[in-house]
Amino acid sequence: MEIGKFQYTVVVERGEDGVYISSCPALQGCHSYGDTYEEALKNLKDAIRLHIEARQSVGDPIPNQV
């Protein structure tokens, strides 16, 4: 998944309850979910942007793309 100048590998799995769970392994703690695969990806894209913005705001390094 490409976010601005960053590109990360993401994982999307369907849970037993039918909800799709998405995560970005390179960004520890960056997860989201959605009722559909597409919604889970969209929500994760937003979560990744927020994660990167939060790191930048406090001067933390941005993990390498994976």
| CATH code of the domain in which 19 resides | 3.30.160.250
Task: Tell me what pLDDT residue 4 has.
Answer: 63
pLDDT tens digits for range 12-37: 999 999 999 999 999 999 999 999 99
In a domain, 62, yes or no: no
The rounded distance, in Å, linking the Cα atoms of 29 and 27 is: 6
Q: Taking residues 3-15, what's their average pLDDT?
A: 87
46: amino acid identity, one letter = D
Residue 7 pLDDT level (bands cut at 50, 70, 90):
confident
Query: Would 64 be classed as within a structural domain?
Result: no
Domain contains 34? yes
Residue 31: CB atoms within 10 A of its CB come to 16
Please indicate, yes or no, if residue 21 is contained in any of the structural domains: yes
**Which of 29, 22, 20 has its CA nearest to residue 51?**
29
Is residue 30 assigned to a domain?
A: yes
- Total number of domains in the chain: 1
pTM for the predicted model, two decimal places: 0.86
Domain that holds residue 18: 2-57
